[in-house]
Chain A
Amino acid sequence: MSRELFKFKGGVHPPGHKSESNTRPIHAAPLPKKLVIPLRQHIGNPAKPVVDVGDRVLKGQMIAAADGTISTAVHASSSGTVTAIDLQPVPHTSGLPDLCITIETDGRDEWIAHTPLDYRAMAPTALRMQLRDMGLAGLGGAAFPSAVKLDPGATRPCPTLIINGGECEPWITCDDLLMRTHADEILQGVAIMRHLLGSTEILIGIEDNKPEALAAMQAAATKMDFAVEVVAVPAHYPGGGAKQLIETLTGKQVPSGKLSTDIGIQVFNVGTAHALARAVHHGEPLISRLVTVTGHVLRPQNFEVLIGTPMHTLITLAGDRDGTTGVLMGGPMMGVPMPNLDVPVVKATNCILVKSNELFPPLPKALPCIRCTRCADACPAVLQPQELFRFAKAGDFGRAQEYKLFDCIECGCCSYVCPSHIPLVDYYRYAKSEIWAHEKGKRASDLARERHEFRLFRLEREKKEKAEKLAAKAQATRAQAAQDQTRRAELAAEPAAEGTAPSDADAKKALIAAALARAQAKKAEIAPKNTDNLSPGTQHEIEEIEARRAKIRALARQPLETEEKP
C-alpha cells in the first residue's frame, strides 16, 4: 500500500481469538417460534407501533414507524401473528423490560411485496426517508439511525467516506465473515453512500489480521466504477473505533466535542453498507444481521440471525457447555453483561460471547489506585483516566467533565492495563449517567420554574382583567342610568312642572321596567317550533286546548277578584 498511515496514541494488544469463530462458514439460524422485537433498538426515539395485537404481519412489514428525525422504523422479521405489544426483557445490562412487539411465526416466512429502489433517480431527501422507513441503523454496535448520517447537510460537505472493517475487538468475526462472503454487496452499499454524501475519497480500513477479507474487498473494489482504496491497517485495539480509524487513515484528529463530519469525514461500518445495499437493490428492510457466537461454546461460529431471535437458541445452536459463567453482548473489552438469555438479538448485537472461568478468569479484587498512569499511556482518547477515576469515585462530576469525561469512548484499555484491576470504565459509565440524570433534573426544574412563574403572571393578569371588566360594566350601568334620568326629566318637563325632580329610586325603577320589558319581548319571541304545516285536525285540537287553558286562567283569576272586592 502506498498510503501513508498514522498511529493513534495509546491502545493495547489483547489476544485476538478470531480463529475460533472465523473458520466455520455462516449458518442461517432457524426460524424461531416466537420473535420478540424491541422498539428501542437504535439511538434516539423508540419506534411507534403501527400494528395491533392479532394482526397478521408479513416478513419485512413495518410494525413500528420512526418517531422524529433521530429514529428509525422496526419491521417484522418473519410472517406470523402479533400476539403482544408489551414490556419484555431486552438486551440491556440493567435487566429492565422495554416495549416490544411479539410475533408468533407461522413458519411460512412469507415476504411482503418489495421492490428495488432506483436510488440515482430519487431525490436525496426522499431516499433518506425511505431508508429511515426501512429501519437502517449502524450495525457496528452503536445503532445510530443511518439515514441521519447519510445527510451531508447543506453547509457541511463530506469529502471523505471511510468504511470501517476494522473489527478490532477480540473474539468478534462477523464483519470479517461478511467481507469475505459479501464484498460485492458491501461495495454496492458504498456506492449508494457515495451518491448521497457526494464524497470524493473513499477509504476502506481493514485490520491486517483479516487477510481473506482484505483480498475479497480488494477484488470487489477493482470492479467498481469509482476509486476505492482498501487499506490494511495494523491490528491494534481500538483501531476500529471511528475516531481512531480516522486518525490512522488520514492523520486527522476529531476535536473534542465535535463530530467527524465537522472535519469532513463520515464513517460507516461494513455491515451497514451491506444492509444499505440489501435495502436499495432488493427493497429488503433491516430484519436480520450476522452475529458471532463464540467463547465457551462447542462450535463458535457466525449466524445469519433474524432480529428478535432469543439469544439462548443461538447458544444452543453453537453447542452450550457446562461451566458457563455469564454472557456478554459485544466483545470482552466493551461488551455488556446480559442479565438473562431470553432476550432477543437486536440490530446492535454483533457478538454473543459466552464466558467461562478458564477463558475469562474472574478479576482479582480491586486494589487502590497507585497512580502509575499506565491507563493514561493506554488511553486512545488522550485522557487522564486516573484523574477521571478519582473524580468519579468522589462524586466530583464537574471536575470529571472538565477533564473531558465525555471524550471517553469506553474502549476498556485503561481497565485492561490497570495493575490494581480497578473497573475504571464502570466508574466512567456511572459518572456519565449521573451527569445525564442531573442535567435531565435541571431541565425539569427549569421547566417547573418557568411554568410556575407563568402561572403567577397569569393569575395576576386574570385578576386585573376581571377588575377592569367589572369597572367597565359599572361605568356602563351608571351612564345608562344617567341617560334614562335625563330622558325622564325631559318627559316630565314637557307636561308642565307637574312632577318632582327624578330621583335615584326613579332611575332604578325605570331600569327594572326596561329589564322586564326586555324579558317579555324575549319570551314573546320564543314560538313553539312544531306548529308549522299542521293538519286541520291537529290545528283544531290545539285551538281546543288553548281555549281550555284560557278558561282555566280566567277561573284562576276569579277568586282573587272576589277577595279584592269585599
Chain B
Amino acid sequence: MLTAILVMVAIAVVIGLVLGWSAIRFKVEGNPLAEKIDAILPQTQCGQCGFPGCRPYAEAIAKGEADINQCPPGGEEGVKKLADLLGIEPKSLDEAHGTPKPKSVAFIDEQTCIGCTLCIQACPVDAISGAAKQMHTIIASECTGCELCLPPCPVDCISMVPIAEDLPHWKWKHPVVMLKRVA
C-alpha cells in the first residue's frame, strides 16, 4: 500500500519536473496565432481597422478583441482566409471601416508640393523621399496605397492613382465556359 503511494508520488514528481522544465525550455516567444494572422493581413498599414497597423490588429484578433471583417484592403478574400484560420464562419466586410478599392499608389503633384515633410512623417512604410523645402516624391514600388499621406498634406497635392494593368502584371483569365441555353 505505502509502496504504491510512494511510487505514484515519485512518478508525479518526475512528470511534474519534466513538464516544468519543458515549459521553460520550449517557451514560445510571442503569440504564434498573431503571427499567422499577420501573415494573412495585406500589410498596407493603413489603420482603417482602427488599430495603428496590421500587427496590432492581428494581435487584437488573436486576443478576440477585434472582429475579422475590419480590413477593407484584404477584401472578402482576406476575411475568408482569416475565418479558415480561426475556424469561424466568414462574414461580410464591415462597411464602417471602409470599402475595398482597386489597388493604387499615391502620386505627388510636384508643381504644387511645398516640401513641408508632413506626408513623410505620415507614411507608415517610409515610401516618400524628400526633405524640408525640397520637393517630395513617392517611391511607387514601396507604396502600399494606404492613403495616410492624403489628410496631412496642406496643399492637397497628393492623389491616388490606380495601378493600370501592364504586361508584367497581366494575368491569364479564368477560361469562360459557355453554357448551353436550355429552351
Interface residues of A, Cβ cutoff 8 Å to B: 40, 90, 92, 94, 96, 98, 365-366, 423, 426-427, 429-430, 432-434, 436-437, 444-449, 451-455, 458
Contact = CB atoms under 8 A, between A and B. Distances in A.
B180 interface: yes
B101 interface: no
A332 B42 CA distance: 41
Interface string B157-180: 000000001110111111101101
Given A451-B125, A452-B53, A452-B124, A430 B167 contact: no
B43 A452 contact: yes
Interface in B94-130: 124-127
Contacts of A430: 171-175
A509 to B, nearest CB: 37
B125 A455 contact: yes
Interface of B: 38, 41-45, 53-55, 124-127, 142, 144, 165-167, 169-175, 177-178, 180
A68 B17 CA distance: 59
Contacts, number: 69
Nearest to A441: B42
B54 to A, nearest CB: 7
Given A448-B44, A448-B45, A448-B144, A454 B165 contact: no
Given A94-B167, A446-B43, A449-B54, 8 more contacts: A94-B170, A365-B178, A365-B180, A430-B172, A445-B41, A452-B124, A452-B125, A458-B126
B45 A426 contact: no
A90 B167 contact: yes
A98 B172 contact: no
Contact of B125 (A423, A427, A429, A448): A448
Contacts of A427: 174-175
A434 B172 CA distance: 8
A433 B126 contact: no
Nearest to A95: B170
A452 B173 CA distance: 33
A445 B42 contact: yes
Given A96-B166, A454-B126, A429 B45 contact: no
A451 B180 CA distance: 51
A426 B53 contact: no
A446 B35 CA distance: 12
A452 B45 contact: yes
Interface on chain A toward B: helix, strand, loop, or mixed SS? helix
B43 A448 contact: yes
Contacts of B166: 96, 98
Contact of B175 (A92, A423, A447, A451): A423
Contact of B127 (A433, A436, A451): A451
Given A96-B166, A445-B42, A451 B142 contact: yes
A434 B43 CA distance: 20
A420 to B, nearest CB: 11
A446 B41 CA distance: 10
A92 B169 CA distance: 13
B171 A437 contact: yes
A447 B45 contact: no
Nearest to A448: B43
B139 to A, nearest CB: 10
A433 B171 contact: yes
Nearest to A440: B169
Contacts of B170: 92, 94, 96, 433
Nearest to B121: A459
Nearest to B177: A366
A426 B177 CA distance: 11
A437 B54 CA distance: 21
B118 to A, nearest CB: 15
Contacts of A447: 142
Contacts of B174: 427, 430
Contacts of B45: 448, 452
B167 A96 contact: yes
Contacts of B144: 444, 448
Contacts of B44: 448
Contacts of B142: 447-448, 451
A90 B180 CA distance: 35
A92 B167 contact: yes
From B124, B175, B180, name the one whose CB has the most chain A CB atoms within 10 angstroms. Answer: B175
B48 to A, nearest CB: 15
A447 B45 CA distance: 12
14 contacts: A92-B167, A92-B170, A96-B167, A366-B177, A366-B178, A430-B172, A430-B173, A433-B171, A434-B171, A436-B171, A437-B169, A449-B43, A451-B142, A452-B124
Contacts of B41: 445
A220 to B, nearest CB: 39
Contacts of B165: 96
Nearest to A434: B171
A366 B173 CA distance: 17
A365 B125 CA distance: 50
A445 B41 CA distance: 8
A458 B144 CA distance: 19
B59 to A, nearest CB: 14
Nearest to B41: A445
B167 A98 contact: yes
A426 B175 contact: yes
A430 B170 CA distance: 11
Nearest to A455: B126
